Amino acid sequence: MDSKSIRKTFLNFFEEKSHKIVPSAPIVVQNDPTLMFTNAGMNQFKDFFLGNKVAESKRVADTQKCLRVSGKHNDLEEVGIDTYHHTMFEMLGNWSFGDYFKKEAIEWAWELLTGEFKLPKDRFYATIFEGDESENLDQDVEAKEFWLQFLPEDRVLNGSKKDNFWEMGDTGPCGPCSELHIDLRPQSEVDKIPGRDLVNQDHPQVVEVWNLVFIQYNRLANGTLENLPEKHVDTGMGFERLAMAIQGKQSNYDTDVFQPLIQWVAKKGGVEYGKDEKTDIAIRVISDHIRAIAFTIADGQLPSNNKAGYVIRRILRRAVRYGYTFLGFKEPFLHEMLDILVDQFDGVFPELTGQKDFIAKVIKEEELSFLRTLDNGLKKLDTITSGDSKTIEGSTAFELYDTYGFPIDLTALIARENGMEVDEAGFQKEMEVQKNRSKSAGKQTTGDWNVVHEGDETKFLGYTQTQATTNILRYREVKQKDKKQYQIVLEATPFYAESGGQVGDTGYLQIGEEKIEVVDTKKENDLIVHFVKKLPTNMQGEVKAVVNESKRRLTENNHSATHLLHAALRQVLGDHVQQKGSLVNEKILRFDFSHFAKMTEEEIAEVEKIVNQKIRENIALDEKQNVPIAEAQEMGAMALFGEKYGDFVRVITFDPQYSVELCGGTHVPRTGNIGMLKIVSEGSSAAGVRRIEAVTSVEAERFYQQKLDLIAELEEMLKHPKDLKKSVENLVKENLAAQKKLEQLNQQQAGQIKNQLKASVQKVGDKNLITYKGEFPSADNMKQVAFDLKREVDNLVLLIAADIESKPMLTVMLADELVKGGMNANEIIRKMASAIKGGGGGQPFYATAGGKDLSGLDEALKIGKEVVEGA
Ligand code: ATP
Ligand code: MG
């Protein structure tokens, strides 16, 4: 069975069991401080488990794009070395939100694997949670009983908390789990060692395929477990491992999921896969990493220097480096693999197909820049390895790592090739220092929520109101360094929480007479969290929540203007324009979008013209809430990627023919409110991404006013001419003419000096010495005079100590014959220059020097003469 059919069979199976099939959530997590990337299918349903939100459908199944390269689940170091851990993989999952529990989950898993997929029953092992005293938890006897329906007693194994108690992170929903492992070894080996001895022993052919998690608890920040109001099922099956089992392979990379990639890389590297462990690992690393890179970029995370962006950059560099070192790839190659990926995921993850060119461009630029740093790093290493030392210092290895992105193993490899060693302990020490530095800088401790009033969901009122009367639901303390802050959740709130680029509202909460300032509002999953510096004295009392309205209105102007801008950009530049980032606050709007060239002035003017036209049309806002995704798509809404199941989709339209967008932000009631838009800058923000900054309403007014003020000042300076432009033109013309005149005068003066000098030749032996101390109109004139004299006076030695606009300047000019005879203008000038506290140089026949001390001119000449007379 090919992998596409395997995926389909899984989804069909659960659809028939009344599950709703939902799309994968984006691989990049937004609005969750505890998680950067989706690491399991259950992430997007976290709020259903916690009871923060009610699921529309109690049974759900999907295939989820996962990434395990950071945080609690980090498989990066294994990837490529082993054959069954990936950075990005698909997790097939089925869920029950307070509906069915262990019995059905176990029975259906068995039915699907052995019935539908016909995997051999006698090759399966199930593990169950053995209990844990420190957590006060008993053995999962229920799960055991259900497995015993299908498996003999000796193939149902006890597992420890480490393997059989699943947690997504340090806090959050969790529970005991039961895993299915499959033994894929040939019979001859099975006869020698029973599979049960190899379960959970990191054997590449005895692997876990499916984990059934029974979510019952919430792990709190203080480490204790709290019972959840309802019991849930959360399962996750590795799609690539399932394909390996069904297709009778020994490695995930031998399945049709990976083979096209593997073969492409092998061919490009001119090697055969499966012949040499070293190149095999490199081929696997590359085939794996390109998937992680492509999907994260598709979901909106560009490689960058911090956080999620940096994780992606590091994965990309790891792939490039393996290619560079083991396959000899010295030119960008990863970006060429996109075609294969698009082909493979066609119809499964459309986000890849739609953005192929963009993703490829971003990857290629990253590759190029990393290959350049690699080159520089190698050069640096070259200078180190060519020295006498036999070790590379820890600090040097760290610098290579930190500034050039050289992993320690690469440095070690190159060192070994040069008969050197790396001080790895020293390197680790430097790493530790850096880690601690960033830890203490960013460390934030978050306390548990304290409940004031019962209730889980906050009602958001901010689309229609900026004030509301409500209650405090819960609060907690947050400490960063020594700064204490508090976070408050309200039962209902008019405060907009930062998201979709729009800044969070500020304002205040009033309880009785007490006013508490709200400094920011942010989202945590779907919770709206108000940031305050102190807690109200009376937590129980009624709260009046008041948003800073003028700031909000200005922000709305910019947000709606962003939509108008987006539509105009697509009209002027084309449909490839997609939003890649946005920031909207009360001052400016910043919009990042995919486009490959610098916008011309005409294009910018055209975009502004369209937007301002739409503003003047005073189009009314059309806001639709709770629109099903499919319907939104039909309406022509842009930005459909990045939505997750259960999000309420809100569609914002300004003229259905012009701008339709999915957006959770707040907007103007009519476009006329925006006043006007002015683009203030256009530039590049990343490979393939342009950035526009613009201002609207009062800020646009201010922008124009500043320009007008500037003109007024110029008019004032020019004594209010009738025609400002003409008058500036005249000024420029007059200035040019004056300069020309001055230059003529200078030349005349220089000519006079020259004649005077020519007449002042002194004989020093056979040399004709000319010296001059005095003013010179310009350095150019001095040079001219020196060269003229060289031509006109034989055996010339010319020493000039000049005052040019009150700065000391020296010149030495020597006849060619004298240079041949051993004299050197450089040497003379260096000695002379010390007298004017300066320095200079030039060629053996002609040298100049500048300095700081005008009073040293006489002394300089004296020194010069002595040298000449001594020569
Ligand atoms: P393992 O112990 O093999 O690392 P796990 O316990 O980390 O697995 P879970 O967190 O239970 O795995 O994830 C559910 C399923 O997802 C696993 O049974 C496995 O099939 C698959 N899986 C987990 N991690 C990876 C990975 N890095 N690459 C591919 N598949 C994975
Ligand atoms: Mg794991």
pLDDT digits (tens, 9 = 90+) for 422-471: 999 999 999 888 877 766 666 678 888 899 998 878 899 999 999 999 99
Half-sphere exposure of 288 (CA within 13 A, CB side): 35
The Cα 83–Cα 780 span in angstroms is 73
Using an 8 Å Cβ cutoff, are 566 and 579 in contact?
yes
Answer yes or no: is pLDDT of 507 > 80: yes
Residue 169 CB less than 6 A away from ligand 1: no
Using an 8 Å Cβ cutoff, are 424 and 394 in contact?
yes
CA of 268 to the centre of ligand 2 (A): 31
Using an 8 Å Cβ cutoff, are 20 and 59 in contact?
yes
Residue 210 CB less than 6 A away from ligand 1: yes
What are the start-end ranges of the E strands in 326-441? Answer: 391-392, 421-422
Q: What is the model's pTM?
A: 0.72
Q: Tens digits of per-residue pLDDT, 788-821?
A: 999 999 999 999 999 999 999 999 999 999 999 9
Nearest Cα to Cα of residue 865 among 762, 754, 758? 762
Answer yes or no: is pLDDT of 648 > 80: no
β-pair partners for 67: 88
Answer yes or no: is pLDDT of 640 > 70: no
- For residue 79, the ligand closest to its alpha carbon is 1
Confidence of residue 762 (pLDDT cuts 50, 70, 90): very high
CA of 75 to the centre of ligand 2 (A): 7
In this structure, what DSSP letter does residue 766 have? Answer: T
State the pLDDT at residue 336: 97
For 482, other C-beta atoms within 10 Å of its C-beta total: 5
Residue 358 CB less than 6 A away from ligand 1: no
**Helix locations, 257-337, DSSP H:** 259-269, 277-298, 307-326
Please give the residue that has the higher pLDDT: either 518 or 481: 518
The Cα 514–Cα 512 span in angstroms is 6
Question: 574: left (phi > 0), else alpha (psi -120 to 50), else beta?
Answer: left
Atom of ligand 1 nearest to the CA of 180: 18
Residue 258 CB less than 6 A away from ligand 1: no
State the pLDDT at residue 51: 80
Residue 530 CB less than 6 A away from ligand 1: no
Residues near 265 by Cβ (< 8 Å), separated by ≥ 6? 273, 282, 283, 286, 287, 323, 327, 337
- For residue 168, the ligand closest to its alpha carbon is 1
Residues near 389 by Cβ (< 8 Å), separated by ≥ 6? 420
The Cα 729–Cα 45 span in angstroms is 68
Which amino acid is present at 727?
Answer: S
In this structure, what DSSP letter does residue 871 have? Answer: -
The Cα 860–Cα 849 span in angstroms is 11
Using an 8 Å Cβ cutoff, are 138 and 165 in contact?
no
Q: What is the mean pLDDT of residues 382-406?
A: 82
Q: Tens digits of per-residue pLDDT, 817-843?
A: 999 999 999 999 999 999 999 998 999
State the pLDDT at residue 440: 64
- For residue 237, the ligand closest to its alpha carbon is 1
Confidence of residue 390 (pLDDT cuts 50, 70, 90): confident
Residue 675 CB less than 6 A away from ligand 1: no
Answer yes or no: is pLDDT of 676 > 70: yes
- Tokens 């309802």: give the residue: 230
